[in-house]
């Protein structure tokens, strides 16, 4: 008789955003006349940039002719895309990354879940609290998290690094030593980030204790301040301790187009085994590449037109962030984030839990946000609004909140 | 100190097709003047069908306008595609599959590797021998296969079901009882298949012993004979024991476009846990959907034009298969497959191993095929040629083989 992976039975409830979607669907069903605005899930609203559209059409036309048709892609992804990444995301920032250290994928969510495959079950993970749920849930599935302790809303074998107002939403080196450290900066959900010297401390620590950092830089395009690193490899020694995840979802609006990549430096070794070789094997065996036409779309993001156009998109969303921050402040809320990230993190009004505030906002202002507690126990009392709505909806939403 | 997944260190050499690619690259480098024809990897050569191209362009245009732009897809995939699948692949064959039993993915390779996630490590797998390497390698990674026994070219904890000329390339119920049974019909690599009544025996067996069948039907579009099942759910009782994997790679030439799906019936339960719920959780947590434009391309495969055009593509390749079979037979080879599948399986000339014959063909006829032993020990002495080349190259290749 076959046996299921019982770790799945430990998973708590459903995935956060599925829960929210269900609540919203019920509300809309009961209130078909209400104009619900979502500043909840981190999904973009701006169409793909013209340069990307042009590249997509061109690639589609190539697929229509036998001479230019493309079948299976190279295991790591097409070189035209990996070169563009190497040159623009790394070389331009003074970082040398080799082409065979870049693995093209269908997005950072898949990569952040799948990267666990190359590690043993008996690694202890450390995560920020609050945290993007995928890091924890995929480790629950892999059996690394121990048991769920309901009263603490946390897992017995996970090291939580609280990020709260008290530490300016920056995690501190934990007392217990982790094996795998998940860091995401600019941060989802808090919208905060850390400086290069702060990140250097993490790199030094990881190298010292033999930990590996999974560095999620999905939001790097939103960085507006000078001393904030765009890549962990800007720090000395990061190549011997860090894997970096990148996404096209937020810098170029690819949430429904699906493209990302992971960098695994060849210097990253465990007892002589290169993690690059392990990930190459995983990538080549359990994945078959992102579609050719989507890889061409990714290449176009790095064209001169593409860079200018996607920069405008980012500016559009960051203007929304500014509107949200200023609006909330003037309405008396305590807010953070939104300067180097498309997320604004606000404290719920006194006495309200995150889910109370979710219901309150949905029922009274018809606005969907994300309860901070959905991201971890230290998220309780906080609430996330995203800047990914349209300008018009963002203005309308803030007016409604001010009027509450 | 973090620990790697040491199962990866057990993996034998590199992935078969990577090995072949390296050998071919070396040959081409040394012989730049030679016209190498590949009938090796199962990659298609015909461009995407006009109906698919039209749908792609239309979807790209939608992504260019805010009003029609699409972000994150629904977890299971868009309903327009799942409906088309339900109606065309199942209802039309008298099989009732619910929409929430269909999970859209980026392809059957990913699914066949990832499906293992929902099962415990201590399941014993059974595979046909020869077999598509991904089934075995992904189970090696998951720690299910025991140790590699070099002299047997096999894994200590895997149940092998030899498929040779002796049993007409149809696996027989194994003596030892497996927990998870991988079946692929029409078969890769042998090109053989089994009848509906033969498959019914497997379904009955799996239900009797409590095994789950992972049924890979990636090549069903190539079935030309009446009594061969297109879906395992054509068999009574399959919904309580089988997961079916499907692909758009071979029926519609999507090898570089990436689309597939997996069916997990809600009746499939282990001690009250629905595997459908487990896979839904995995799918929603470690994957973020196939691109919208690709899902629209998939939908177009089921349009009237799409069906007619892709049927033509399949006929084109099956004509190649016929050319290969007849040519090889007239050259004195013993061949099988190629009637319900795009693969022709031939016996190597006496005394030659599969890799000997690979080198012989590459060096003397400049043709790339796939050594049977790369698919498992019972593949030794066999060789796979695929019908996915162009008509012209297929003719040329067969002429060269005849001239040897």
Structure tokens at B7: 């199962």
* CA Rg value for chain B: 21
Helices (H) and strands (E) in chain B, counts: 12, 17
CA of A370 vs chain B CAs: smallest distance (Å): 16
Nearest chain A alpha carbon to B177:
A1
Nearest chain A alpha carbon to B390:
A66
Is a pLDDT exceeding 80 seen at residue B134? yes
Taking CB atoms and an 8 Å cutoff, what residues of chain A touch B12? none
3-class DSSP assignment, residue A290:
coil
Handedness of CA A64, A68, A70, A73 (dihedral sign): negative
Is a pLDDT exceeding 70 seen at residue B62? yes
B2/A179 Cβ within 8 A: yes
A327 φ, ψ (degrees, to nearest 5): -65, -45
Instruction: State the average pLDDT over residues A284-294.
Output: 97
Q: For tokens 């990866």, name the residue.
A: B8
User: Which one of A9, A270, A288 has the shortest CB-CB distance to B258?
Assistant: A288
Q: For tokens 């993001």, name the residue.
A: A301
B66/A119 Cβ within 8 A: no
A2/B270 Cβ within 8 A: yes
CA of B299 vs chain A CAs: smallest distance (Å): 16
Nearest chain B alpha carbon to A56:
B60
Report the pLDDT value the prediction gives residue A350, as an integer from 0 to 100: 85
User: Which one of B47, B48, B65 has the shortest CB-CB distance to A47?
Assistant: B65
**Which neighbouring-strand residues pair with A382?**
A347
pLDDT digits (tens, 9 = 90+) for B373-399: 999 999 999 999 999 999 999 999 999
B1/A210 Cβ within 8 A: yes
pLDDT digits (tens, 9 = 90+) for A172-201: 999 999 999 999 999 999 999 999 999 999
Taking CB atoms and an 8 Å cutoff, what residues of chain A touch B258? 106, 288-291
Report the pLDDT value the prediction gives residue A97, as an integer from 0 to 100: 98
Report the 10 Å Cβ neighbour count for A67: 6
B70/A48 Cβ within 8 A: no
CA of B23 vs chain A CAs: smallest distance (Å): 15
B242 Cβ neighbours under 8 A, 6+ residues apart: B203, B206, B212, B213, B214, B215, B232, B233, B265, B268
A43/B72 Cβ within 8 A: yes
DSSP A76-136: T--HHHHHHHIIIIIGGGT----GGGEEEES-HHHHHHHGGGGB-TTPPEEEEES--HHHH
Instruction: State the average pLDDT over residues A350-378.
Output: 94
Is a pLDDT exceeding 70 seen at residue B235? yes
Is there a contact between A98 and A87 (Cβ–Cβ < 8 Å)? no
Handedness of CA B26, B29, B31, B33 (dihedral sign): positive
A69/B50 Cβ within 8 A: no
The Cα–Cα gap between B285 and A16 comes to 10
Structure tokens at B29: 């480098």
Taking CB atoms and an 8 Å cutoff, what residues of chain A touch B45? 66, 69, 71
Is there a contact between B71 and A17 (Cβ–Cβ < 8 Å)? no
User: Which one of A2, A64, A120 has the shortest CB-CB distance to B179?
Assistant: A2
Write out the E strands in B177-276.
180-184, 212-216, 242-247, 260-263, 269-270, 273-274
Taking CB atoms and an 8 Å cutoff, what residues of chain A touch B141? 117, 282, 285-286
Nearest chain A alpha carbon to B118:
A5
pLDDT digits (tens, 9 = 90+) for B9-32: 999 876 677 789 889 999 999 999
Q: For tokens 């180097």, name the residue.
A: A340
3-class DSSP assignment, residue A325:
helix
Nearest chain B alpha carbon to A292:
B256
The Cα–Cα gap between B235 and B241 comes to 11
Q: How confident is the model at residue B41 (pLDDT cuts 50, 70, 90)?
A: confident
Of A108, A110, A77, A256, which is closest to residue B296 (Cα–Cα)?
A256
- The ipTM (two decimal places) reads 0.96
The Cα–Cα gap between A172 and A390 comes to 35
B123/A179 Cβ within 8 A: no
pLDDT digits (tens, 9 = 90+) for A382-393: 999 999 999 999
A75/B18 Cβ within 8 A: yes
pTM: 0.96
B292/A256 Cβ within 8 A: yes
CA of A256 vs chain B CAs: smallest distance (Å): 4
The Cα–Cα gap between B99 and B85 comes to 9
Is a pLDDT exceeding 70 seen at residue A14? no
Report the pLDDT value the prediction gives residue B306, as an integer from 0 to 100: 98
Is a pLDDT exceeding 70 seen at residue A360? yes
Report the pLDDT value the prediction gives residue B14, as an integer from 0 to 100: 64
Report the pLDDT value the prediction gives residue A12, as an integer from 0 to 100: 86
The Cα–Cα gap between B10 and B17 comes to 18
User: Which one of B66, B110, B117 has the shortest CB-CB distance to A47?
Assistant: B66
The full 3-state SS of B322-363, as one line of letters, equals HHHHHHHHHCCCCEEECCCCCEEEEECCCCCCHHHHHHHHHH
User: Which one of A71, A122, A253 has the shortest CB-CB distance to B43?
Assistant: A71
B63/A56 Cβ within 8 A: yes
Of A172, A184, A195, which is closest to residue A133 (Cα–Cα)?
A184
pLDDT digits (tens, 9 = 90+) for A194-227: 999 999 999 999 999 999 999 999 999 999 999 9
pLDDT digits (tens, 9 = 90+) for B319-351: 999 999 999 999 999 999 999 999 999 999 988
Report the pLDDT value the prediction gives residue A18, as an integer from 0 to 100: 78
CA of B283 vs chain A CAs: smallest distance (Å): 10
Residue B164: enclosing H or E segment and its boundaries?
none
Which residue out of A136, A291, A316 would a mutagenesis test of the B interface target, given it has the greatest number of B Cβ atoms within 10 Å? A291
Is there a contact between A237 and A207 (Cβ–Cβ < 8 Å)? yes
User: Which one of A5, A138, A212 has the shortest CB-CB distance to B120?
Assistant: A5
Burial (CB count within 10 angstroms: exposed 0-12, middle 13-18, buried 19+), residue A356? middle
Report the pLDDT value the prediction gives residue B89, as an integer from 0 to 100: 98
A110/B134 Cβ within 8 A: no
B47/A53 Cβ within 8 A: no
The rounded percent of chain A whose pLDDT value lies above 70 is 100
Instruction: State the average pLDDT over residues B258-282.
Output: 97
Is a pLDDT exceeding 80 seen at residue A13? no
A334 Cβ neighbours under 8 A, 6+ residues apart: A165, A346, A347
Is a pLDDT exceeding 80 seen at residue A15? no
Of A113, A105, A286, A115, which is closest to residue B139 (Cα–Cα)?
A286
Task: Assign 3-state DSSP to chain A and report helix, strand, coil percentages, each to 5.
Answer: 45, 15, 40
Tell me: cis bond preceding B403? Omega within 30 of 0 counts: no
CA of A214 vs chain B CAs: smallest distance (Å): 12
A1/B270 Cβ within 8 A: yes
CA of B314 vs chain A CAs: smallest distance (Å): 15
Report the pLDDT value the prediction gives residue B21, as an integer from 0 to 100: 86
Nearest chain B alpha carbon to A390:
B66
pLDDT digits (tens, 9 = 90+) for B69-91: 999 999 999 999 999 999 999 99
pLDDT digits (tens, 9 = 90+) for A130-141: 999 999 999 999
Q: How confident is the model at residue A21 (pLDDT cuts 50, 70, 90)?
A: confident
Nearest chain A alpha carbon to B46:
A66
């Amino acid at each position: 008789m076959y046996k299921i992976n019982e770790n799945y039975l430990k998973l708590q409830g459903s995935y956060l955003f599925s829960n929210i979607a269900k609540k919203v669907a019920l509300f809309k069903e009961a209130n078909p006349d209400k104009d619900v605005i979502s500043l909840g899930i981190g999904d973009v609203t701006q169409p793909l940039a013209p340069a990307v559209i042009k590249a997509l059409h061109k690639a589609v036309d190539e697929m229509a002719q036998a001479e230019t048709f493309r079948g299976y892609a190279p295991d790591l992804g097409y070189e035209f895309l990996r070169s563009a990444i190497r040159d623009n995301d790394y070389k331009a920032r003074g970082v040398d990354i080799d082409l065979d250290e870049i693995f093209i994928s269908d997005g950072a969510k898949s990569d952040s879940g799948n990267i666990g495959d190359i590690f043993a079950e008996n690694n202890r993970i450390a995560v920020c609290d609050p945290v993007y749920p995928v890091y924890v849930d995929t480790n629950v599935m892999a059996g690394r998290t121990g048991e769920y302790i309901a009263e603490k809303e946390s897992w017995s074998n996970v090291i939580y690094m609280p990020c709260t107002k008290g530490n300016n939403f920056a995690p501190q080196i934990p007392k217990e030593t982790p094996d795998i450290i998940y860091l995401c900066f600019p941060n989802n959900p808090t919208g905060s980030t850390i400086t290069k010297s702060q990140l250097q401390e993490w790199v030094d620590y990881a190298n010292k204790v033999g930990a590996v950092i999974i560095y999620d830089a999905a939001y790097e395009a939103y960085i507006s301040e000078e001393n904030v690193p765009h890549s962990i490899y800007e720090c000395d020694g990061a190549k011997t301790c860090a894997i970096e995840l990148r996404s096209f979802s937020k810098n170029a609006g690819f949430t429904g187009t699906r493209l990302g990549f992971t960098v695994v430096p060849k210097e990253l070794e465990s007892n002589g085994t290169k993690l690059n070789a392990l990930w190459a094997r995983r990538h080549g065996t359990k994945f078959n590449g992102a579609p050719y036409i989507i890889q061409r779309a990714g290449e176009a993001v790095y064209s001169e037109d593409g860079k200018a156009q996607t920069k405008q998109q980012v500016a559009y969303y960051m203007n929304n962030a500014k509107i949200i921050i200023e609006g909330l402040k003037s309405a008396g809320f305590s807010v953070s984030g939104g300067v180097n990230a498309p997320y604004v993190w606000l404290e719920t009004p006194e006495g309200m839990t995150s889910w109370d505030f979710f219901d309150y906002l949905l029922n009274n202002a018809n606005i969907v946000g994300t309860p901070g507690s959905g991201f971890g126990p230290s998220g309780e009392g906080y609430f996330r609004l995203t800047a990914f709505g349209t300008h018009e909806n963002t203005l309308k939403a803030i007016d409604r909140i001010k009027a509450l």
